[in-house]
Amino acid sequence: MDFETARYVETALPRSEVYVASDLLLYYQEGVPRDFVVPDGFVVLDCDPRLRRFFKTWEEQRVPNVAFEFTSASTRRRDEVFKPQIYAEIGVSEYFIFDPHGEYLTPQLQGNRLVGGRYARIAPDARGRLLCEQLGLTLELSQGDLLIRDAGTEQPLLTAADESERRAAELAERNRALEAELAKLREKLQE
């Protein structure tokens, strides 16, 4: 999860206190600096959204609600074996792993929910979507890309480019309406 995607996940959540991070050191054992993990992305609900250089679970009194990993040849073993063990141990409620190139995971997108201290695979719905209960979002593949939607409205989360395009279209429509109104006023003045 890149910084841009993390910010859009953050803005899509209907809470005022949400911390979203990507590629940030997550320390989970006080006094043991070698006990850390670096999720590709994670979300902590009911947590101050201020910027941080690292996240210490004992200081925050919180662990991530959800962790995301984007796997590759170099990270596959960590993403499939070691990180899920750590996430389960510290109490991360949901863990999603995505293989952007479709080379290592079958299926290419997988979700896991913590049940009794262990992860259980999240079964996809009839359309192949995975429900992230913690965030109220669905995750699905669309032509090989990861698509994240609001679970209630089914509206996709917009990227910065999508949002800019939407705003530009709104402004263009507003300008057309103003120009039409101005033309009408000019006609009236000429009469």
Tens-place pLDDT, residues 162-184: 666 667 777 777 777 777 777 78
Q: Is residue 31 predicted with pLDDT exceeding 90?
A: yes
pLDDT of residue 183: 78
pLDDT of residue 145: 87
Q: Is residue 158 predicted with pLDDT exceeding 70?
A: no
Q: Which of 4-8, 14-18, 28-32, 170-174 has the highest mean pLDDT?
A: 28-32
Q: What is the mean pLDDT of the chain?
A: 87
Hunting for tokens 């262990």 — which residue is that? 118
Q: What is the pLDDT of residues 112-132, one digit of tens each?
A: 999 999 999 999 999 999 999
pLDDT of residue 180: 78
Q: Is residue 187 predicted with pLDDT exceeding 90?
A: no
Distance from C-alpha of 97 to C-alpha of 60, rounded to nearest angstrom: 25
Where in the chain does DSSP place strands (E)? Answer: 18-21, 26-27, 36-37, 41-45, 55-56, 66-70, 94-98, 109-115, 118-121, 130-132, 137-142, 145-150
Q: Is residue 9 predicted with pLDDT exceeding 60?
A: no
Distance from C-alpha of 51 to C-alpha of 68, rounded to nearest angstrom: 19
Instruction: Decide which of 10 and 84 is more confident.
Output: 84
pLDDT of residue 2: 53
pTM of the entire structure?
Answer: 0.77
Percentage of residues of the chain with pLDDT beyond 70: 86
Structure token pair of residue 185? 């006023």
Q: Is residue 62 predicted with pLDDT exceeding 60?
A: yes
